[in-house]
Each structure stands twice: as structure tokens, then as C-alpha cells.
Amino acid sequence: MRWSWPLNPRPASSVLLFLRPKPYQIPKPCRCSQAPSMAKSLDEADVGILCYVSSLPGFRGVLKQRYSDFIVNEVDLDGKIIHLTSFDLPPEFSEEKAPGKNPRSSDKDYSGEIEAFRSLSGELDAESLRDFLEKIVDSEASDVAPIILSPDSDKSHRAEVHNFFKRNFKFLVTDTVEEADTKCVRVRFCSGDGGAKNKRGKKRKEPGGSGPKNERPFDSRGSDNWPEHLGKFLRFHLFKENKDTQEALGVIGKMLGVQQRSFGFAGTKDKRSISTQRVTIFKQHAKRLAALNSRLIGIKVGDFCYVKEGLVLGQLMGNRFTITLRGVVAESQDIVKAAADGLRRNGFINYYGLQRFGSGSVPTHMIGAALLKGEWKHAVDLILNPREGERAFVRDARESYKENGDIDIALRQFPRHLVAERAVLQCLKKCPGNYLQALKAIPRTLRMMYVHSYQSYLWNHAASERVQRHGIAQVVLGDLVYCKDGTSKKLADIDNANSEDFFDFGNDDIQIEIPETALSNEQFHVVKVVDSEDLLAGRFNFDDVVLPLPGSKVLYPENDIADVFHEIAKKDGISLTESVHGAKEFSITGMTGDYRRVFQRPVDLVWELLTYTDDNIPLAETDLDVISKTKPDTAMMNGIIRGNSGYLAKKENAEISLDENYAAEDGNKLSTEIDLPCNSDTPSAKTALKLEFTLPSSCYATMAMRELLKASTSVTHQKTINP
């Protein structure tokens, strides 16, 4: 029997060391005072991920060797696991237009409206409108090109034209465009099923800009010709392979001819995975989406139904994970059994995973620290400077810009997936030297990521200190806990509906997570400070302990852990109580703040050991496998030798409760009848551990795997065990 991770089994005492109180040492500054030159890739210790819950030894296993080894199914607010189960159209499907609202009906005579328009805009525009209406009636309206009326420099007259169409042609929309330096009114068909193919749409201002607040892109959202018996939103289940949510919806939106922002979803899923989630789209017929399945690659849509409300970020309870760890190597069968059972019973520290900070050599929290200090130029440099881990052509483009500072050349060389970099450069081209304005040119969800990342950096370090000083066995005086009733001395209501977005920068090794706060007034948590009376009454346990994400409305623990936040921030030159600049969105005091549980248990965890010989064989069944009713062929099955498995009894239905206690005792432990390949007569045989479990939203399955393996989840480490 051989042990290959670590070189020697981790002694229990080395883990317990993390759980014993020890003098607090402030971590090194987050290197935000100096721009790194090709710094090393980020490791877990750099962002405060230091401790484990248990002293159980780990074992070797490869995470995400194939994207099919990481399967994610969304769990909705009712606790139902979302699966792709059907491609059938809903029974209430109908493409009939509401009576009297079909613009292509030949029974409608628009001659009166055309004559009225003639008196308003003249002969030429009236005839253009007549021809346009005839084309809509005689052909597929979505194929009819928009018309542009005669040049009109009179703003008040253009307003009259817009109002005329609003009153008389509900199925047409107008906007103002510039043609040859002259403003003109453009007229387009507004279908109930996606609108015209022209994708430019209305000119949209960024939120917070000077444009009209109610301006929306042209995607038929204002159309009236929609059947009254159908909900205005089509809800469907999105199944995708090795694509992030935004990428998949971008492909679907392009095929439908609608803006990507027409979609609604509760949360985004990992790119390197197979995932199923709910999505809504405004005023689209199921038939159009179902027709895309034959053309989509790595994407499928189904389970259609019409609903009254669209999804928004945060409307989910969590995610169900099916994770396969390949290449499992352990000294004995008992180590794997104990680790899996220990994860189920003991849980893990609820750290923010490396995705939160980006896995490149310029972590997002470093940029966030520069923003909090008002170091605008330094923040821009961190965004643009060369970094480790990127493809050669990207690195060359960064180095070229750093040497010569030529923005035009940089914009030609920087690929379009570098959204933040290109936005900064384009603004600097227009406003040289205005670095704050350049930072604000980055899309808001992306630029806010940087400060949120620094909040998470502080939280991780505080969580490690809480575990190191006070352990996980009990609540201590001064801890913050979620209230179980309304009686408390010190309360704070904070929106805790964060959901996890991932921004793909075109490099499979570098994904950056973008937090987005859901606009919900219902998801509030109330916290209180634990006092001596609470300790005597035993009202709370460690599962209730939370730590704040710094902000203007959060409470801090009333014990030594509060100092951790302030001392680390002070070491980085940052104050958590006052801002040194006037840019509110880049200030801790301008943010509300949040709370997060220190400890998390996987819900309904089950596991199975598989023996296989071919790395290319999928070891877990996907929704598409089930819906297609296809199984691996005989030749493929010959490559899978199933051993005796320890497997907890699964629930028969798909509904789960995230509040249920799954800490099992001896009567519910896993079977030990497992034969590992280290004793096998077939040296080519390999072992995989397949786990299924559910986590609440914003929790990281990678952190659960870290506890199981007692090994780093960093890309660098995974490459060393999966070359």
C-alpha cells in the first residue's frame, strides 16, 4: 500500500494546531502598496484560508479533471432541485395573437393614420410608412428592416412624431438616430416574439448616468400583442456544459435576436461544470426556444412554462452538487470512509473560495484595497499591468502597453474578453489622466467586485482567527449570532441576499466571481451579540455564529475578533469607519455590509466509490443522460468496475430542507466494504469518489472538498496532481 498525498500522512496534531488558541499575528499586507511584476499565482493562505474543522487525515484526489466531474443543479426557494426533464411545449401553448392586436391582419386599414402622418411629416415619409406597413403584412415581420424618416433637427417635432406612433401604431417603436451628422427618427416593428433582428437597440445609458432612467433596449418589452391567457414571462430550465451562465444566455439571445438583459436568473454557475438552472425571458414563445435545441452545442433548454414574474438574482435556496474526485489514492479504506463521514457530520469552515479573488497573480482584493484608499492610478495599473498565468498574446499586449503607453495599439491588441481593461483604456483615450472616471467606465457589477473582494479577504482572515482562538465546539461571549426570536438587546437588519456571479476572462484557469446583491426587501437577517445570559441558557451553538462583511450598518463581535478586521485593514492603510475620498461606491462606509455563517454542513450528503480504467469515461449521470434515456454502451461500461459502495439512503422526493440536521450517529455510518486499487491485481485500475450534497447559496463546494482532502484547491496545486 502506498500513500502519495501528502508524502506522509498529515499527523492529527498538525491540524489541531489550527484549532488551538495562539497569539494573533497580523497577516502581511495584501501587497496593495506596490504593483507586482509578474507575481505568483494566488494561494489559499494569501486570502486567509488557513484552518480545517477536523483533525482527520485527508487523501489524494483530483478535482474537476473533466468538467462532467462537477455537476450543479439549482435548488429553488421551495427546496426543489431543478432538473432538465422534458423538451415538450407547455399544454397552454398558443401563438394566436390577442383579438384586434395583430398588426399583420389584412382586415385593418391604416389609410386614415397614414394620411394623418402625411400632414405631420410630409409626402416622402408617409409613403415610406405605407410601404413599411405593407411589408409587415405580407412577410415575416422580423425580417422587415427598419425605416429611417427624413432628417429632422427640430426636437419638438421629433417628439410629435414619436407620440404619433405611440398613439396609432402600438406594434411599432421609434427612436432617434444620427445619420450623416443629422438626427432622424427610426421606425421598427415590435413583435411579441422577439422583435426585429436589428440588435443595436436604443442607446442605453449606464445606471447612474445622465440618460433617462426608463430607457430600455429594443427587445419587445413594450409590445401589447401578447395573449392575455399567458404569463408575460417564459420560464425554462437551462442545461449547459462547460459554459458559464452569461455565455450560454448570450448564445441564446443572439439566436433569438434579443438583448441578453432580457433574461432573468437566480444565480450563475461555474463554467467548468455541467449545470441546470431556471431562467426567465420576457414575452417569448416556448416554440421559438424549443426550436433552438437542434442548433445549440453544449446547451439545451426545456421544461417550459409561462409565469407572471421574472427571476432576479438571489431567488434560490442553494445548489445540489454531484462531484467526482478522480485518481483517489489513500493508505487504507478507512481513511476515505472517515473523511467522507466526517465531512457529513462535521461540515467545513464557510470560507470564500479562491474564485472570489480571481486565481490570477493580481487578486481582485488588491485592486479593491487600492480603490478604498483612493489610489486611482495604482488601481488602473493593477488592472492593466502584465500578470502571470495568462496566454502569451495577452501577456505580450499588456507588456507592450506598459512599455509604450499607446492606447490605440493596446485597444487593437487587447482581446474583447478583457472587459475591464478595454473599458479603462477607452475612457483614458477620451479623458487622459482621469483615472477615477476610467474606473467608473468598467461595468458596475464588475467594478464593484473589487471592493467586495476586499471585504471577503477580511472575512476569511477573521474566520480563521475565530477558529484558531476559540475553536468550533461552542459559542463564546461577544460572538455575533443570527437571532432565533425577536428578543435581543442589539439588532441590525442587513440584506444578506448575495448571489454568486462568475466573470470569465477567456482563460479556463482564471475566473473571477462577481457578487451581486438581489433587490429583495424580504431577505433580511437579524443578528445579536451573545451575552452571559445566552451562554447560561444555551440558546445558541456554533452553527449560529456569523461574522460581518464590513460596511456602514453592520455590528462587529464584542470580543477580540473585532480587532482582526480593523488591524488587518489598518495594516493595508484602510479605515473601516471613515472614507478618505468622495467616491462613495469605492468606500466601505458607502456600503451596507453583510453577514455570513462561519460554519456550514453539507445537506443530504451521499457518497459512492467507483473503480474505473479510462479517464475519458463519465462517472456521473447528467440530466441529459436521463432525459435521453441513454446509458453508456457495453464497451464503455466494461471500463467501469464498480466496487462495494458506502451509500447513504437518498430521499425519494426532490424536496430538501436546508435547516435539517444531518449529523448522523453510529447507526447511520457508511459501509467499510470498499476495495481500493492499492490492493488490486490490476495496476491500471483507478478509484473515484462521487459525492452528492446540497449547499445554501453563496457557499463554496470547493471549500467542502478542501476539508475532505485536506489539500489546497488552488489551480497550481491541482495541476501538480493532474499534469
Label residue 79 left, alpha or beta by phi (over 0 means left) and psi (-120 to 50 means alpha): left
- Average of per-residue pLDDT values in the chain: 77
* Contacts made by residues 101-110, CB under 8 angstroms, sequence distance 24+: 101/170, 101/171, 101/224, 101/225, 102/225, 103/136, 103/137, 103/141, 103/169, 103/170, 103/171, 103/172, 103/189, 103/225, 104/136, 104/137, 104/141, 105/137, 106/137, 110/169
The predicted-structure confidence for 5-22, as pLDDT tens digits, reads as follows: 333 333 333 333 344 344
Q: According to the model, what pLDDT value does residue 361 have?
A: 66
Query: Rounded to an integer, what distance in angstroms lies between the CA atom of residue 10 and that of residue 289?
Result: 52
Q: According to the model, what pLDDT value does residue 445 have?
A: 77
* Average pLDDT score over residue span 343-348: 94
DSSP secondary-structure letter at 719? Answer: H
Query: Rounded to an integer, what distance in angstroms lies between the CA atom of residue 538 and that of residue 556?
Result: 21
Q: According to the model, what pLDDT value does residue 688 have?
A: 93
Residue 417 reports pLDDT greater than 90: no
Identify the band that residue 651 occupies on the pLDDT scale cut at 50, 70 and 90: very low
**Range in 88-102, 137-151, 281-295, 675-689 with the lowest mean pLDDT:** 88-102
Give the DSSP H/E element, type plus range, for residue 13: helix 12-19
Query: Rounded to an integer, what distance in angstroms lies between the CA atom of residue 220 and that of residue 189?
Result: 9
**Range in 143-147, 423-427, 475-479 with the lowest mean pLDDT:** 143-147
Task: Between 82 and 499, name the one with better pLDDT.
Answer: 82
Q: According to the model, what pLDDT value does residue 463 have?
A: 97
As a whole-number percent, the residues of the chain with pLDDT over 70 amount to: 72
* Average pLDDT score over residue span 99-114: 62
Sorted by sequence, the CB contacts under 8 Å of residue 104 that are 6+ apart come out as 136, 137, 141
Work out the burial of residue 78: count CB atoms within 10 Å of its CB; fewer than 13 is exposed, 13-18 middle, 19 or more buried: exposed
Query: Rounded to an integer, what distance in angstroms lies between the CA atom of residue 691 and that of residue 689?
Result: 6
Give the DSSP H/E element, type plus range, for residue 165: helix 155-168
Task: Between 53 and 39, name the one with better pLDDT.
Answer: 53
Identify the band that residue 30 occupies on the pLDDT scale cut at 50, 70 and 90: low
Three-state DSSP class for 528? strand
**Range in 90-104, 160-174, 326-340, 381-395 with the lowest mean pLDDT:** 90-104
* Average pLDDT score over residue span 49-55: 93
Identify the band that residue 146 occupies on the pLDDT scale cut at 50, 70 and 90: confident
Identify the band that residue 433 occupies on the pLDDT scale cut at 50, 70 and 90: very high
Residue 722 reports pLDDT greater than 80: no
Of 588, 602, 579, the residue nearest 664 (C-alpha): 602
pTM for the predicted model, two decimal places = 0.71
Task: Quickly tell me which residue has 456600503 as its cell.
Answer: 591
Sorted by sequence, the CB contacts under 8 Å of residue 695 that are 6+ apart come out as 318, 319, 321, 600, 602, 603, 701, 704
Sign, CA dihedral 311-313-315-316, equals positive
Residue 295 reports pLDDT greater than 90: yes
Query: Rounded to an integer, what distance in angstroms lies between the CA atom of residue 705 and that of residue 376?
Result: 38
Contact (CB, 8 A) for 560 and 461: no
Work out the number of other CB atoms within 10 angstroms of the CB of residue 55: 17
Q: According to the model, what pLDDT value does residue 675 have?
A: 45
Query: Rounded to an integer, what distance in angstroms lies between the CA atom of residue 233 and that of residue 264?
Result: 9
For residue 642 the three cell numbers come to 464498480
Q: According to the model, what pLDDT value does residue 356 have?
A: 87
List the catalytic residues: 270
